[in-house]
Amino acid sequence: MCGSMLTNYLRLTYILFVLTRETLDDVPSVIIDEACQLVKDNSITGRKQSSVDVVYTLWSNLKKTAGMEAGQVSYHKDKEVLLVKNVAKNTDIVKRLNKTKTENMKLDFKALREERDAKERAELREKQRKQQELDKELAKKRAQEAEIRSYTSLMKTENMKTNRGQLWLRFG
């Protein structure tokens, strides 16, 4: 997820979805509020204003073309852009977040993403395999039920009996 201010100078704050593929609706409002505070505090113009509007969206929705100014972004789908209006500065949140701030430039985001995607693909394959097993079992059960309901087993020669050679007595 990416958050930015609606000004000429954008300061971006990223929230990394590590464990599961989440949507913006799955992100708790507390995290959104903290990200908004970081965006406001990291912006030169945002610090000077009493309240700002913060836009947030998934990073995959960010659109950057060659003709854009430095710091300017657009969006592929405007419907996936969410707006938090009138974000006022909360120094307690900013101080708490700055105390825990670490900069780790050695993170390989591409490798993290590929690892997460590989895990998701493995889970999906396992789920599909289980579903195929259930489908095969269900098809086998249906075939057995259909055979029981049909009369094909009665018309087999090994199940047939003859009355030739039997003595019939008539009383009468």
Cβ proximity of 73 and 62 under 8 Å: yes
Q: Is residue 104 in some structural domain?
A: yes
| Total tally of structural domains belonging to the chain | 1
pLDDT at 121: 95
CA distance linking residue 137 with residue 143, whole number of Å: 10
Buried b / exposed e along 66-80 (16+ C-beta atoms within 10 A) = eeeeeeebeeeeeee
pLDDT at 7: 42
Q: Is 97 exposed, middle or buried (0-12, 13-18, 19+ CB in 10 A)?
A: middle
pLDDT at 14: 59
pLDDT at 29: 82
pLDDT at 139: 97
Q: Is residue 49 in some structural domain?
A: yes
Q: Is residue 55 in some structural domain?
A: yes
Q: Is residue 127 in some structural domain?
A: no
Q: Is residue 40 in some structural domain?
A: yes
pLDDT at 22: 66
Q: Is residue 151 in some structural domain?
A: no
What averages of pLDDT result for each successive group of 10 residues across the chain (172 residues)?
A: 45 56 74 84 82 81 81 81 81 84 75 87 97 97 87 72 68 59
CA distance linking residue 156 with residue 66, whole number of Å: 78
Q: Is residue 167 in some structural domain?
A: no
CA distance linking residue 102 with residue 96, whole number of Å: 13
Domain residues for 33?
Answer: 2-121
pTM above 0.85, yes or no: no
- DSSP string of 102-162? ---TT--HHHHHHHHHHHHHHHHHHHHHHHHHHHHHHHHHHHHHHHHHSSTTTT-GGG---
- DSSP string of 13-46? EE----SS---GGGS-HHHHHHHHHHHHHH-HHH
pLDDT at 10: 42
pLDDT at 15: 63
Cα dihedral sign, 4-10-11-15: positive
Encoded tokens for 88: 């006022």
Q: Is residue 35 in some structural domain?
A: yes
